[in-house]
């Protein structure tokens, strides 16, 4: 139980931000110690949405456990599924058809765009501008429609299975993705005009929540949070999987390490994702969308690890197999958890308004942190 906190002995105010609060985007609970408006300490309390997914996975087969991972980081469920599928494929040593690999990467990048769009709207809303949220959802809706057509679901797609993808892409897929790209490239400058170039937004984010490159490494941050501090950590570049090694795209880095740098990294990643989708959308090779695999998968005895780059950072799956139909133990390395751990360090000495902006720039998804 969390005791009722009022003020500390030094007369500092202790307030609970969350578990229900507009800025935490989920059931995150922050116990914030304040001196007036200045933050002395931020203490995240977790566990409000713990579903013990890792334990559940131990009683599910290698095909089934992938579906639970859609419910972790629900904004990049494709990428989570991708990591698990790759991990199982490592174990059963199966060759994935080229077509399936391309479809997977396409879905990953579309998911990344959708996730970053939602983050962009939420970030703007955190610093007080409500309108961008609706603009972001306009484009995100198009991606959701594409997903619905091909995967049958809009949020928890469960599309990637060991051996490839569950079903072939919808005949409309390529046309609709091209429509999306056309509109999105047209709207992206509008986004920059509305938020990035706004004087108030820049003064709210520049120099706020500084995270040095050393701290970024020592807190274990990854993804845009670490790249905003100038730490190259894009798994797609460092440990390429599927067809990423053949694609042309650049890793987005910024040196400043503040909230605005993290913002810019994500905005640039949107452009890089568009670049990847553009390279692939007309070059989906013919062939099978799924490799032939046994109905009941059994992994050999041993340990398997696979990491991928989700929209929030490095997502890792660590699997121990005892040779049974179910994994013996599964551990997920979620990007949000490590990124959240740096929050206290970044927020100390800042104002309450800054805390919200910093949290926005970390792009926290709470079910990902609390598995």
Partner 1 sequence: MWSLSKISGLIDHWLNGKLGSGWASVAEMVIVGLCVIGLFAILGLVLVLMERKVSAWMQIRLGPNRVGPKGLLQSLADTLKLLVKEGLTPDGADKFLFNLAPFVAMIAAMLLMAPIAFAKDFQIWDVNIGVLYITAISSISVIGILMAGWSSNNKYSLLGAMRSGAQIVSYELSAGLSILSIVVLTGSLKVSDIIAAQQNGWWIFKGHVPALIAFVIFIIAATAETNRAPFDLAEAESELTAGFHTEYSGMKFALFFLAEYVNVFIVCAIGATLFLGGWMPFHIGSWEGFNHIMDYIPSSIWFFGKTFFLIFLIMWFRWTFPRLRIDQLLNLEWKYLLPIGMVNIILVTIVAIKGWHF
Stretch of residues binding partner 1 (CB under 8 A), selected from 59-67, 184-192, 220-228, 353-361 = 353-361
DSSP label of 48: T
- Residue 134 lies near partner 1 (rule: CB under 8 A): yes
- Residue 130 lies near partner 1 (rule: CB under 8 A): yes
- Residue 274 lies near partner 1 (rule: CB under 8 A): no
Task: At 16, give phi and psi (nearest 5°).
Answer: -95, 115
Task: At 361, give phi and psi (nearest 5°).
Answer: -75, -20
Q: Collect all residues with Cβ–Cβ distance below 8 Å to 362 and sequence separation of at least 6.
A: 225, 262, 336, 339, 340, 342, 343
Residue 339: enclosing H or E segment and its boundaries? Answer: helix 335-341
Q: Collect all residues with Cβ–Cβ distance below 8 Å to 152 and sequence separation of at least 6.
A: none
Nearest approach, Cβ of 274 to partner 1 (angstroms)? Answer: 22
Q: Do the strands 329-333 and 314-321 form a parallel or antiparallel pair, or are they unpaired?
A: antiparallel
Q: Which residue has the tokens 């599309």?
A: 159
Q: Which residues from 323-352 bind partner 1, rule CB under 8 A? A: 351-352
- Residue 135 lies near partner 1 (rule: CB under 8 A): yes
The nearer residue to partner 1, 126 or 314, going by C-beta atoms, is 126
Stretch of residues binding partner 1 (CB under 8 A), selected from 89-97, 192-200, 247-255, 311-319 = 192-200
Helix, strand or coil, per DSSP, at residue 364: coil
Nearest approach, Cβ of 120 to partner 1 (angstroms)? Answer: 13
Site string for partner 1, 136-165 (x = CB under 8 A): --x---------------------------
Nearest approach, Cβ of 211 to partner 1 (angstroms)? Answer: 19
- Residue 196 lies near partner 1 (rule: CB under 8 A): no
Stretch of residues binding partner 1 (CB under 8 A), selected from 19-27, 84-92, 98-106, 281-289 = 19-27
The nearer residue to partner 1, 181 or 194, going by C-beta atoms, is 194
- Residue 31 lies near partner 1 (rule: CB under 8 A): no
Stretch of residues binding partner 1 (CB under 8 A), selected from 13-21, 234-242, 244-252, 325-333 = 13-21
- Residue 197 lies near partner 1 (rule: CB under 8 A): no
- Residue 201 lies near partner 1 (rule: CB under 8 A): yes
The nearer residue to partner 1, 45 or 237, going by C-beta atoms, is 45
**Separation of alpha carbons 250 and 237, rounded Å:** 8
369 HSE (CA, 13 A, CB side): 24
- Residue 356 lies near partner 1 (rule: CB under 8 A): yes
- Residue 21 lies near partner 1 (rule: CB under 8 A): yes
Number of other CB atoms surrounding residue 19 within 10 Å? 17
- Residue 126 lies near partner 1 (rule: CB under 8 A): yes
Stretch of residues binding partner 1 (CB under 8 A), selected from 95-103, 139-147, 195-203, 298-306 = 195-203
Helix, strand or coil, per DSSP, at residue 293: coil
Going 119 to 120 to 121 to 126, the CA torsion angle's sign is: positive
**Separation of alpha carbons 49 and 66, rounded Å:** 19
Reading the block at residue 96, the tokens are 């994935």
Binding site for partner 1 (CB under 8 A): 13, 15, 21-23, 37, 124-131, 133-135, 138, 194-195, 198, 200-201, 203-204, 351-356
């Amino acid at each position: 139980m969390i005791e009722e906190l009022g003020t500390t002995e030094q007369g500092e105010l202790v307030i609970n931000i969350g578990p229900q609060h507009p800025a935490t985007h989920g059931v995150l609970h922050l116990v914030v110690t304040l001196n007036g408006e200045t933050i002395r300490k931020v203490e995240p309390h977790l566990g409000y949405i713990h579903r013990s997914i890792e334990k559940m996975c131990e009683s599910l087969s290698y095909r089934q456990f992938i579906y639970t991972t859609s419910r972790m980081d629900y904004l990049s469920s494709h990428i989570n599924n991708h990591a698990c599928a790759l991990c199982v494929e490592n174990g059963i040593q199966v060759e994935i058809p080229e077509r399936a690999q391309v479809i997977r990467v396409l879905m990953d990048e579309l998911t990344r765009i959708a996730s970053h769009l939602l983050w962009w709207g939420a970030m703007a809303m955190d610093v007080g501008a409500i309108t961008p949220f609706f603009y972001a959802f306009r484009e995100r809706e198009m991606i959701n429609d594409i997903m619905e057509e091909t995967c049958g679901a809009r949020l928890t797609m469960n599309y990637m299975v060991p051996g490839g993808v569950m079903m072939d892409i919808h005949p409309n897929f390529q046309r609709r993705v091209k429509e999306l790209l056309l509109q999105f490239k047209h709207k992206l400058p509008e986004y920059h005009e509305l938020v990035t170039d706004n004087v108030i937004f820049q003064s709210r984010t520049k120099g706020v929540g500084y995270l040095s490159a050393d701290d970024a490494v020592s807190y274990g941050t990854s993804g845009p949070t670490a790249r905003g501090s100038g730490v190259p950590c894009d798994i797609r570049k460092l440990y390429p999987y599927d067809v990423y090694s053949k694609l042309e795209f650049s890793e987005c880095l910024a040196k400043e390490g503040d909230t605005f740098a993290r913002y810019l990294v994500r905005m640039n990643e949107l452009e890089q994702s568009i670049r990847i989708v553009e390279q692939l959308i007309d070059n989906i090779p013919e062939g099978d969308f799924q490799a032939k695999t046994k109905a009941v998968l059994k992994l050999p005895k041993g340990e398997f690890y696979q990491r991928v780059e989700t929209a929030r950072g490095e997502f890792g799956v660590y699997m121990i197999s005892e040779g049974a139909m179910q994994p013996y133990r599964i551990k997920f390395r979620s990007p949000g958890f490590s990124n959240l751990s740096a929050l206290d360090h970044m927020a100390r000495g800042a104002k309450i308004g800054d805390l919200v902006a910093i949290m926005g720039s970390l792009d926290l998804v709470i079910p990902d942190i609390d598995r």
